[in-house]
Amino acid sequence: MSETKHRILVVDDDKAICWVLEKAFTEEGYLVDVASNGKQALELIGERQYSLVTMDIRMPVMGGIETLEAIHRLPNRPETIVMTAHSNMENTIEAMKHGAFEYVVKPFDIDEVLGLAKHAIEKYESRRFSTGKAPEVTDRIIGDSPVMRDLYKKLGRIAPTDSTVLITGETGTGKDLFARAIHYYSPRRDGPFITVNCASIPGELLESELFGHVRGAFTGATVERKGKCALADGGTLFLDEIGTMRFDLQAKLLTFLQRSEFEPVGSSRTAHVNVRVITATNADIRKLTQTGAFREDLYYRLMVVPIHIPPLRERREDIPLLAKYFVERYNAKYNLDFKLTDDIVDDFMTRDLPGNVRELENAIHRMVVLQLTEVGAETNLAIAVPGQNDLESVNVIVAKLVESGEPDLLARAHERIEEPLLRRVMSHVGENQSEAARLLGISRNTLRKMLAQYHILQQ
């Protein structure tokens, strides 16, 4: 039983849900009112002081997100818990952005809801006399697995702030999409979103790319040029593949993060900008700090808010949603009518996808264009074998090629092995392109072209 008589408002057009929640909250000692839509809820909130509001998303007259936004603007507002059967990325992010304490998917566990209510009311009491200030998509982030729902909640909480964010995850997990989503749902959304891929620009040119240069700063600098930091003023600067940045330039980036100021190359004039910085990497930066390849002070500065995007193998339940989305996208693009069957989806669920969402998208793209009826050799996917080592992976690829009966097997084998080899080498050397080129026995320029060909640079 609660020690104080806090009042809770239950908002839902489902009478059964209202009855269950009203009964449970009442038994815990809370005072409970019920409303069937957002308009009615706001009227009640105008008459009484509530500690907590639980509400559905889809309701007649006035929906949950609109209601939540109105509540968040109120002085001494109640805490809010969104409870819905209609869970998706947009609803989750919007709910958390507008101050929801939690986002619960129906059907829910009543004990879990009671626990959340208790913590929400504790938070309400801790800020009883504070005021709240309320602060739309890009390429869609697809996924409804528990780990993705948690990421949507985190994204919704951090988007309205100016905190520096470090996004980590394997190649192809969608780190750039999350960076764009953070910008899109932030107060800076009307400002520029500027991307710099640190791995695709030679180290000696990256400083000029970031901070700009004055005329005559170096050979070929015939005109003054603004850098990405200046172009991002009032918006967001996204530094992809931050782990590849040259060590000496890391110190200048640290200064920029601390003071929001920089000097263009060849200039003694200090420029000030208002920029939020988001970074991303598929490298283990913590390990790079231990080897001396990355500044520890910069690492902690970037790690103010860390976000880790899980690989697809850790959220396989999202594969059907992703497959459906990509089929619809490419059917619309090419005016085709490719049918996604249950057998195709089941086959994708058993596949090894080291390239994650990007690899799945590319495979489906090929299937749609070529009108393939099954996931075969032409999709360039290997079957996942739990616990297999690298040699077994190669054996699986070779066996499938031989069984396919295709001509030019040497060329096909080269195509199939080249990309995973590049990815493994890049991971092994911590994304150090010079070392990777040395191990592969090729020039750095050739390596860059190969990395771009397989989209390994475009996270």
For residue 358, give the CATH number of its domain: 1.10.8.60
Alpha-carbon distance of 363 to 327, in angstroms, equals 10
| pLDDT averaged over every residue in the chain | 82
Q: Are residues 376 and 400 in the same domain?
A: no
- Proportion of the chain above pLDDT 70, given as a percent: 85
Split into its structural domains, the chain has a count of 4
- Average pLDDT of span 378-384: 50
- Average pLDDT of span 44-57: 88
pLDDT(275) > 90: yes
* pLDDT at residue 387 in the model: 38
pLDDT(380) > 70: no
Give the least confident one: 66-75, 149-158, 299-308.
Answer: 66-75
CATH number, domain containing residue 87: 3.40.50.2300
CATH number, domain containing residue 453: 1.10.10.60
- Average pLDDT of span 443-447: 79
Question: Is residue 153 one of the residues assigned to a domain?
Answer: yes
- pLDDT tens-digit series, residues 389-428: 444 455 555 666 666 666 666 666 666 677 777 877 877 7
How would you label 388-401 residue by residue, b for 16+ Cβ within 10 Å and e otherwise?
eeeeebbebbeeeb
Alpha-carbon distance of 368 to 197, in angstroms, equals 30
pLDDT(301) > 90: yes
Cα angle: 421, vertex 203, 288; to 5 degrees: 60
> Quick one: which of 459, 380, 56 has its CA closest to 372?
380
- Average pLDDT of span 32-36: 92
Q: Are residues 40 and 109 in the same domain?
A: yes
* pLDDT at residue 412 in the model: 60
Q: Are residues 289 and 156 in the same domain?
A: yes
pLDDT(168) > 90: yes
* pLDDT at residue 392 in the model: 43
Alpha-carbon distance of 403 to 415, in angstroms, equals 17
- pLDDT tens-digit series, residues 51-68: 999 988 888 888 888 888
* pLDDT at residue 305 in the model: 92
Most trustworthy range by pLDDT among 218-232, 272-286, 363-377: 272-286
CB 42 within 8 A of CB 86: no
Question: Is residue 134 one of the residues assigned to a domain?
Answer: no
For the chain, give the secondary structure using H, E and C.
CCCCCCEEEEECCCHHHHHHHHHHHHHCCCEEEEECCHHHHHHHHHHCCCCEEEECCCCCCCCHHHHHHHHHCCECCCEEEEEECCCCHHHHHHHHHCCCCEEEECCCCHHHHHHHHHHHHHHHHHCCCCECCCCCCCCCCCCCCHHHHHHHHHHHHHCCCCCCEEEECCCCCCHHHHHHHHHHCCCCCCCCEEEEECCCCCHHHHHHHHHCECCCCCCCCCCCECCHHHHCCCCEEEEECHHHCCHHHHHHHHHHHHHCEECCECCCCCEECCCEEEEEECCCHHHHHHCCCCCHHHHHHHCCEEEECCCHHHCHHHHHHHHHHHHHHHHHHHCCCCCCCHHHHHHHHCEECCCHHHHHHHHHHHHHHHCCCCCCHHHCCEECCCCCCHHHHHHHHHHHHHHHCCCCHHHHHHHHHHHHHHHHHHHHCCCCHHHHHHHHCCCHHHHHHHHHHCCCCCC
Q: Are residues 300 and 152 in the same domain?
A: yes
Q: Are residues 78 and 154 in the same domain?
A: no
- pLDDT tens-digit series, residues 224-274: 788 889 889 999 999 999 999 999 899 999 999 999 999 888 877 888 999
* pLDDT at residue 445 in the model: 75
CB atoms within 10 A of CB 259: 10
Question: Is residue 232 one of the residues assigned to a domain?
Answer: yes
> Quick one: which of 73, 80, 60 has its CA closest to 8?
80
Q: Within 13 Å, how many C-alpha atoms sit on residue 350's CB side?
A: 9
Most trustworthy range by pLDDT among 306-320, 340-354, 405-419: 306-320
Range(s) of the domain holding residue 216:
146-308
Read off the pTM. 0.61
Question: Is residue 396 one of the residues assigned to a domain?
Answer: yes
**Which residue, 59, 92, 126, sits at the end of a domain?**
126
Q: Are residues 77 and 207 in the same domain?
A: no
CB 62 within 8 A of CB 39: yes
Alpha-carbon distance of 214 to 220, in angstroms, equals 11
Q: Are residues 302 and 318 in the same domain?
A: no
Question: Is residue 156 one of the residues assigned to a domain?
Answer: yes
- Proportion of the chain above pLDDT 90, given as a percent: 27
Question: Is residue 23 one of the residues assigned to a domain?
Answer: yes
Q: Are residues 208 and 298 in the same domain?
A: yes
- Average pLDDT of span 453-458: 64
Q: Are residues 449 and 300 in the same domain?
A: no
* pLDDT at residue 131 in the model: 34
Question: Is residue 238 one of the residues assigned to a domain?
Answer: yes
Q: Are residues 122 and 245 in the same domain?
A: no
Strand partners, 84: 105
**Which residue, 92, 126, 160, sits at the end of a domain?**
126
> Quick one: which of 181, 165, 125 has its CA closest to 6?
125
* pLDDT at residue 151 in the model: 92
More confident call, 345 vs 448: 345
Question: Is residue 1 one of the residues assigned to a domain?
Answer: no
Give the least confident one: 117-121, 310-314, 411-415.
Answer: 411-415
- Average pLDDT of span 41-56: 88
Give the least confident one: 129-133, 273-277, 411-415.
Answer: 129-133
User: How far apart are the two ends of the chain, measured CA to CA in Å?
Assistant: 51
Q: Are residues 64 and 116 in the same domain?
A: yes
* pLDDT at residue 416 in the model: 64
CATH number, domain containing residue 153: 3.40.50.300
**Which residue, 384, 415, 437, sits at the end of a domain?**
384
Q: Are residues 443 and 377 in the same domain?
A: no
